[in-house]
Structure 1
């Protein structure tokens, strides 16, 4: 069953979706993979402006409070760009995979990587899981 959640901002949506999911007592391996539309700090953004500290704090607090982890990804450092050139160009790492530790423990190998951007301003993520017992 697909569930849609609408909120005033994408950061609120992400937090609400996560809180609803986590409050449901899900004890199985899982991961959120996609556009979080927020960076965790300056290291995930390339331009002259500092990211909104409240947004950074919100996502980091949500990750820490729920004992979540980042699934390591390879490929492009930044997954979104505003398609401008020169000094007006902004690049950020908005697309990520965040999971519970059970997800990491459930697989012998997990490979999350960016794919080439085609028409979107985002680079898609591909996540492959492998278990030696399969």
Structure 2
């Protein structure tokens, strides 16, 4: 996708600022979008790496972030890994490197197909060692890519986020989430630098038995109409309406489908 088309998508997603490296043919394009609350200074950019200095007054962010796309061919990856090694020289601040590395750290990160050549695994392990980078903890699917070929299915963990010691010390609770995107062959990576299990919101789950209730459609319709249409950002309107519907359904469910186990315990205690 050319940067001119990315701009339209960026606006719909609500980001204010952008940086692009246009693709060569149909691959290797890179895009970075960010909000006004973050300041970014580009230190290095190529068709495979965007390396930036990041600062924010209102948010706690890593000092350095590298957005990486590892070339599919081993020889090309070696060249890009050497660039990362040079960028890593002398870094003494929190550094986060993430993206599609197209490489594995062990055979256990692949399912199906031929085993990954040992030299490739050792080369990638060597990169992490030379750059003092650590594979960050993740939640979600074990694999981040799938060839979607049915009987010849291959799955691999080639997308990842890495951090140096300084990053781990400052963001000790950082967690990477592998988010499944319907229709795509890669999972998205969401890096929560300050993750807290205690503060994690309860996951919304749609209950199939709701639709049998006489008031279900009324609750959805009421929540949908609660948000005024802006006619400026249709995607934002949709997100806000879905969020309100979610809240109204949860409130309604607590009234119409109470937790009978808790009620029984409460009655027994009284």
Contact persistence 1:113–1:125 (CA under 8 A):
yes
User: What's the CA shift string for 1:43-84, capped at 9, x where partnerless?
Assistant: 000014110212101010111233221111110000001111
Of the three residues 160, 176, 181, the one matched with 1:117 is: 181
Q: Which has the larger Rg?
A: 2
Q: Which has the higher contact order (CA 8 A, sep 6+)?
A: 1
Tell me, yes or no, if structure 1 residue 30 matches structure 2 residue 95: yes
Instruction: Tell me the secondary structure at the aligned position of residue 46 of structure 2.
Output: coil
Deviations 1:93-123 (A, max 9, x none): 0011111011011124212110112333110
2:126 — aligned with what? 61
Q: Hey, what does 2:214 align to over in structure 1?
A: none
Q: Is the 8 A contact 1:14 1:36 kept in 2?
A: no
Instruction: Report the TM-score, using the length of structure 1 for normalisation.
Output: 0.85
What's the offset of the Cα at 1:42? 1.3
**1:5·1:17 contact (CA, 8 Å) conserved in 2?**
no
What corresponds to 1:18 in structure 2? 84
Task: Quote how far apart the aligned CAs of 1:13 are.
Answer: 4.8
- Tell me, which stretches of 5 or more residues in structure 1 are unaligned? none
Does 1:94 pair with 2:158?
Answer: yes
How many residues of Structure 1 are paired with residues of Structure 2 in the alignment?
130
Larger helix proportion of the pair: 2
**Separation in structure 2 between the aligned mates of residue 46 and residue 31 of structure 1, nearest angstrom:** 27
Residue 130 of structure 1 aligns to a residue whose secondary structure is coil
TM-score normalized with structure 2 length = 0.44
Match of 1:43 in 2: 108
Distance across 2 between alignment mates of 1:124 and 1:116: 7
Which deviates further from its counterpart, 61-70 or 44-53?
A: 61-70
Identify unmatched segments of 5+ residues in structure 2: 1-41, 49-70, 197-270
Per-residue CA deviations over 1:11-38 (Å, capped at 9, x if unaligned) read 3254123112112x22110111111101
